Amino acid sequence: MRARAVSIPLTLLLVLVALGFLFPALWFLLSSFKPGSELFSLPLSLFPRTWTLSGYETAWTRFDFWRYFYNTGLVAVITTALTVIVSALTGYAFAKFRSWWLRAFFLCILATTMLPTEVIMPSTFAIIRDLGLYNTLAGIIVPSIITATGIFMFRQYFRTIPDELLEAARIDGASEFRIFTRIMFPLARPIAVTLAIFSVQWRWNDYIWPLIVLNDPNRYTLQLALRSIVGADNINWSVLLSASVISLIPMVILFAVFQRYIMNADINSGLKD
């Protein structure tokens, strides 16, 4: 019963959809091996007529990728750890406690995603500066900790966990914080991993906060550097494509490693009957 037979039609469907998704990405990857003169020449071809690494060479010499990987990685890891903790705490409160002000605050948290960045950017900058966070990596980390998505994810997840479990622990005399750290948070591991992947991706691709906060090029993050490829009048496409591919590699590896933690999250067995 467990070892269900492989369904050929379903597998075929999966393969077809995956190919559909792969195709544009593959074109992107293969184009990065084309010389600049071939990128836009007709007829368009999927495979490069002449393979070249010149885009990669230019990108690699032009950007200090190791430094950017380090800076971005540091920011991503610290922010992600804090985001997961704060989101779990807040989402738990939203899911397991009821009051009008919690609901109101939940709406407020959602509202943080509703204003265009430019509207709040100038005044956010003033706050960063007055807190002494200008030109520090902490200045990128602190404002990025709360995310509506992360809090929302934990809220929805904790709601699926039956209240009986909570009540039972309370009757056993466990403190609220202990219930959270020992019972609830471990149960939410798949969401924690999912959010961690999201958060790393957000920080990896973020340029708004680095742009506002950083001044010193030694602290630059990846996207800030990559953006400089797009000039006023022209874009060096072969460098942009190559640099983009390089910048994606760590994320793809990270995902390939961590995705099984979401997949293997078989934790509900003890929950209900």
Partner 1 sequence: MAETTTAAAPSGTTAMRRRTRPGQTLVPLLFIAIAFVLFCVFFVGPGALGLYYSFTDYRGVGSPRWVGLDNYQRLFADEQFYAVLGRTLTYTVLSVPVHVVVALGIALLLTSAATRFQTVARVIFFIPWLISPIVAGVIWRWLFGENFGLINYLFTVVNLPTQRWETDGNLSLLVLILAGTWGGTAFNMLLFIAALKNIPKSYLEAAEIDGATSSQRFFRIVLPLLRPTMFLVVLLGTLGAMKEFALVQALNGGGPGTQNMFMVQYIYRTGFERAQIGYASAVSMVLMGILVVIAIIQMRFDRREDLA
Partner 2 sequence: MRTGISRRTLIAGGVAGTAVLGLTAGCGGGGTTSGSGAGGDGGDPGTLQFFLSGDANQGGGFAHMAEKYGEETGVTVEIVDIANDDLRTRLRNAAQANALPALARVGAVDPVWMNVTRDLRELVAEHNIMADLATTGEDGFVYSVPTDVTAVGLYLNKTLFDQAGVAYPTEDVDVWSWDEFVDSVRQVQAATGASYGMAMDRSSHRLKSFLYEFGSTLFQPNAEGVFETNDATSTALEYFHNLNDDTFMPRSVWLSEADGNALFKSGDVVSYYSGSWQIADFAENIADFEWVSVYTPRQPTQAVQYGNAASIVVFEGDQADAAYDFVNWLYQTENYRELAETSGFLPATTDAEITYANNQAAFDLYNDEIANAAPVVGEIKQMEIGFEAEGLSTEGDPLRDEVIRYLNDEIDLGTAIQNVSDRMTEAFG
Choose the one of partner 1, partner 2, none that binds residue 129, judging by a C-beta under 5 to 8 angstroms depending on kind. Answer: partner 2
CB 225 within 8 Å of CB 207: no
Q: How far is CA 162 from the centre of its chain?
A: 29
For position 104 contacting partner 1 by CB under 8 A, the verdict is no
Q: Which structure tokens are listed for 84? A: 């997961």
Instruction: Return the residues of window 183-222 that contact partner 1 according to CB under 8 A.
Output: 190-191, 193-194, 197-198, 201, 204-205
Query: What span, in angstroms and rounded, lies between the C-alpha atoms of 71 and 219?
Result: 6
Choose the one of partner 2, partner 1, none that binds residue 69, judging by a C-beta under 5 to 8 angstroms depending on kind. Answer: none
Residues that bind partner 2 (CB under 8 A): 35-42, 62, 74, 78, 82, 85-86, 89, 121, 125-126, 129, 133-139, 141-142, 145, 173, 175-178, 181, 207, 211-212, 215-217, 224, 227-234, 236, 238
For position 157 contacting partner 1 by CB under 8 A, the verdict is yes
Instruction: Return the residues of window 220-249 that contact partner 1 according to CB under 8 A.
Output: 223, 226, 230, 237, 240-241, 244, 248
Burial of 232 (0-12, 13-18, 19+ CB in 10 A): exposed
Q: Give the 3-state DSSP-derived string for 104-135, with helices as H, strands as E and coil as C.
A: HHHHHHHHCCCCCHHHHHHHHHHHHHHCCCCC
Write the single-letter amino acid at 98.
R
Choose the one of partner 1, partner 2, none that binds residue 194, judging by a C-beta under 5 to 8 angstroms depending on kind. Answer: partner 1
The contact pattern for partner 1, residues 117-146, with x = CB under 8 A and - = no contact, is -xxxxxxx--x---x----------xx-xx
CB 60 within 8 Å of CB 225: no
